[in-house]
Amino acid sequence: MPLRTEKTYSKVAYLGILGALTIVLSIMENAIMPALPFMPPGAKPGLSNIVVMFAASTLGLQETLLIVVFKSLFVLITRGGSAFLMSISGGLLSSLTALILIRMDMKNISLIGISVAAAVVHNIGQLLMSALLTHTLMLLDYLPLLMIFGVVSGVITGVIVSLVIPAVSQVQTHKYFGGVYGEKSK
């Protein structure tokens, strides 16, 4: 069997699109931050997680992690080392959480619940990393607030992903590579 098939190249392109999408959302997120002064430093609406959640539920482990790392590398280039560390700690923890939960395929939890869990874990992960970097525990004071924002952004992200997936599942390329959450077999 040849190592590279048409499918492989298509998949690379597909993932490339998703990666670019993540980055665009990330940029947008940062751009609207000034309009949200009530958020604690470092907290983000989590728009880029839409793509991560999408990948976690329709593609697989490798693809999801790839997107997370890709986003974090972008952060590294544009915002520096500490932002990179925060992005990757939050990103890895939350995507792994999402992937595990999706694997578990629980009857009572929908994508929204998983999204909330992932968002909260994302914020906690980032907060822990920032505490580590600044060598203080003071920032942990934000924990409750960030958890609440995690719930809110998780719900929003979850809703959007839930709406997007059925729509996208009609698209040829998507059908080629992935399924829909709830239907996909391990």
Partner 1 sequence: MSNVFIKHNKRILLFTAETAILALTMLLLSSCSIKSESAGSSAFLMGTVVSEKIYGKSGAEGEKILEEIEESISDCENKISWRISSSDTAVLNESGTADVTGSEELWETVCRLYRDTGGSFDVTVGKLTTLWNIGTEDARIPSESEIKEALKYVDGSQLTFNTDEGMVNAATGQFIDLGAVGKGYACDRAREVLKENGVEGACIAVGGSVLCYGTHDGKNTYSVGVRDPEGSVNDCLAVITVSECVVSTSGDYEHVLKQDGNKYHHIIDTKTGYPVQTDLAGVTVISSSGLLSDALSTACFSLGENDGRKLLDKYGAEGIFVYHDKTISFTDGINIKLQGEYHEKTD
Partner 2 sequence: MKKLIKTGDMILIVFILAISLGLLLIRLPARADTRNVYAEILVDGEVAYEIDLSRLSEERIIRLGSCTICAGHEGVEFIESDCPDQICVQSGQLSRPGDMAACVPNKTMIRIVGSEEMDAVTY
- Name the residue nearer to partner 2 (CB basis): 95 or 97: 97
Residue 169 Cα to chain centre, angstroms:
19
Helix or strand or coil: residue 104? helix
DSSP assignment, residue 40? P
Beta strand extents in 60-139 (DSSP E only): none
Q: Does residue 34 touch partner 2 according to CB under 8 A?
A: yes
Provide the greatest CA pair distance for the chain: 56
CB neighbour list of residue 124: distance below 8 Å, 6 or more residues apart: 90, 93, 143, 146, 147, 150
Q: Does residue 92 touch partner 1 according to CB under 8 A?
A: no
Among 73, 83, 133, 151, binds partner 1 (CB under 8 A): 151
Q: Does residue 110 touch partner 2 according to CB under 8 A?
A: yes
- Per CB under 8 A, which region of 1-9, 47-55, 89-97, 110-118 contacts partner 2? 110-118
- Name the residue nearer to partner 2 (CB basis): 63 or 87: 87
Phi, psi of 39 (to 5 degrees): -85, 140
Interface with partner 2 (CB under 8 A): 30, 33-34, 37, 40-42, 78-83, 86, 106-113, 116-117, 120, 130, 133-136, 138-139, 141-145, 147-148, 150-151, 155, 159, 162
